[in-house]
Amino acid sequence: PAYRPGESNPNFANGLTNQEPVPGTIAHSFDQKGMINTMPYPYSNSNQGRDSAAAFLKNPLESTASALAEGKRLFNVYCSVCHGLEGQGDGSVVSVLIAKDNYGLKPPAFNSDQLKGISEGQIFHATEFGKNNMGSYSSQLSAYERWQVVMYVQELQRK
């Protein structure tokens, strides 16, 4: 007979049916992209949530040339209309709206004193919930894609 997950099991020293995986092993058919896209976001849309994300949230993706290139491509498609191609806050939409009726705030440059020091977690949090005039991008981009964009934004912070 099979043991149910919550049942005790005399076959193991700890008496449990459910056993911890062997350290250093990866689950069969592990899919990092699927895992990242299905993990619930743990921080709230509040100052405390933003501060917690800034302090504790880390990019789960390995920084590779291909991930950075995809982050740049996604940034150019979704973000550059406001932030500009070089992240200077001079995108085509911003210049039109400000010239038209002084609508809202111009996005600050990513390499400005205001933004060059913000963490990857804080950048991701902004893509999750939005910030000031910027709306959330969680319905346009998957979490995996947004982490790629975060990687590229960090490159722009260093320029």
Q: How confident is the model over 43-52, as pLDDT tens digits?
A: 999 999 999 9
Q: Which fold has domain 45-158?
A: Cytochrome Bc1 Complex; Chain D, domain 2 (1.10.760)
Whole-prediction pTM value? 0.77
pLDDT at 100: 63
DSSP state of 29: T
User: Is 16 in a helix, a strand, or coil?
Assistant: strand
Q: With CA atoms as reference, report the closest residue to 83 among 91, 75, 93.
A: 91
Which residue carries 């709206």 as its tokens? 97
**Cα–Cα distance for residue pair 87/106, rounded to 1 Å:** 12
Q: Angle, to 10 degrees, between the axis of helix 65-78 and the axis of helix 143-158?
A: 90
For residue 131, give the 3-state DSSP assignment.
strand
Q: Would the pLDDT of 83 be above 90?
A: yes
pLDDT for 27 equals 66
User: Does residue 61 have a pLDDT over 80?
Assistant: yes
State whether residue 143 is helix, strand or coil: helix
Question: What percent helix, strand, coil does the chain show, rounded to 5?
Answer: 45, 5, 55
In 57-110, alpha helices (H): 65-78, 80-83, 92-101
pLDDT band at 23 (very low <50, low <70, confident <90, very high): confident
